[in-house]
Chain A
């Protein structure tokens, strides 16, 4: 594993919805520049982990970003601290054009490189350039996912939380979206915490993995190891 203190560290994270407890003490860490995946069955609490980290739902335990405790901060403040969250369903602003969505992604920035970064986003996702004046609600699923990723990256995050980017997309589209994202992320050195139902794909994209089972981390390790261990794959990942 990577040395030094982690960029994002979650300890004993507990969260849920009203009376329903979903997470019963989750521990995980993401180091600078690495891609970590959270896999597990439906209902294991993967999405809840991301929501708790980004402040969309209240939680207990400890969440530390770059040495600073961030638990309890609202999502709009966490963006300013370098945390971006692409939620399930992508969260694009349907009535706004693609271009305005991208500008909204950079709305917390005060530097003068926003326009240049938006052009760079179009270079990474050329399909978006073709539809830049169209309302986001009219895009195809793949285009919307690219828009959501490009928009999240425009806030210049240090950690990107990514919830089920493959949801509702065909396998070819998923590959394209993810390989384009990989390039963009490599360029910026952003760390990723990915939640993914498609475990085979997820393990391929990540360096380390956590397997979540009913609100707890059942095991963790290098992605390659998990991929190679057939018994383990059968038991936890169902493929």
Chain B
């Protein structure tokens, strides 16, 4: 039992990372109806940016804060300059999805070109201490990541449910055309959504990078795939679903690594999620598209 609990605890840290990136993916999906395959690579570039600012002598918290702010602007610009013009010319979402895959490759090459093949070291925001509680032990990074996730989820909830911007975001997610007719500037709302998603990615990057000894441009690749799995598990248009989905994926992965073998942690997590989706195709909290007319 203790061992099981320990595996669950260990999974929560990576779970928080998947949850953060899954939140970013869901934010963009709700607003635009498209999958942003570049979300992970955007986060990777943000992480390099955090490292660069840190390397330039800024304190870690300031470097991360600045990187999050710059990422917000960058995400908004990607929507405005790349995604929107493509979306405007196409009848379905496919060209935008393909563009996001192109952006994935471009950002990856860009990072390799600028930073080269050498790994970079980003220290953890929360130190590397270990906390013992009875026979269980967890790292300060796990506690910190959980704390960050709780704060982010609560802030997003407040933003969406208590502010005009949030109301506009939910309206645009429901229908762009109807939103325009009540006077919502849909373009600005989409930019804000992409910006927010990019900012979340920068945060996720700062949580992932310290878990590897040195990070390079491949940092977010498996994270992105697991974040997609988490978002799917959660129902794809649900923010609470993304959070729970992320944690579930992290814990499943840790249990598979603990009881089976580390090599199988990815496939096992996927098989369990696929099984769940066979039983409940809309995911945990996904909205089935039923409507009275």
Contact = CB atoms under 8 A, between A and B. Distances in A.
Contact of B178 (A93, A100, A140, A141): A93
B181 A85 contact: yes
A104 B292 contact: no
B291 interface: yes
Contacts of A107: 164, 167-168, 171, 182-184
B170 interface: yes
Nearest to A87: B181
Interface string B29-46: 000000000000000000
A79 interface: yes
Contacts of B109: none
Contacts of A84: 181
Contact of B180 (A75, A96, A140): A75
B261 to A, nearest CB: 43
Given A95-B173, A140-B292, A108 B183 contact: yes
A105 B178 CA distance: 10
A76 B171 contact: no
A168 B270 CA distance: 46
B220 interface: no
A166 interface: no
B175 A137 contact: no
A103 B168 CA distance: 10
Given A95-B287, A138-B292, A168-B293, A103 B175 contact: no
A91 interface: yes
Contact of A94 (B168, B175, B185): B175
B173 A104 contact: no
A93 B174 contact: yes
Interface string B278-291: 00000000010011
Nearest to A102: B182
B221 interface: no
Given A94-B291, A107-B167, A141-B293, A79 B173 contact: no
Given A93-B175, A94-B175, A138-B292, A100 B170 contact: yes
Nearest to B166: A100
Given A100-B167, A104-B184, A91 B291 contact: no
A202 to B, nearest CB: 22
B177 interface: yes
A91 B293 contact: no
Contacts of A87: 177-178, 181
Contacts of A137: 290-292
17 contacts: A74-B180, A75-B181, A76-B181, A76-B186, A79-B181, A79-B183, A84-B181, A89-B293, A91-B178, A93-B170, A93-B171, A93-B175, A94-B291, A96-B171, A100-B167, A104-B167, A104-B179
- 7 tightest A-B CB contacts, nearest first: A79-B183, A108-B183, A93-B174, A91-B178, A137-B291, A75-B180, A95-B174
Given A87-B177, A96-B171, A152-B182, 7 more contacts: A54-B181, A76-B184, A76-B186, A86-B181, A104-B184, A141-B292, A151-B182
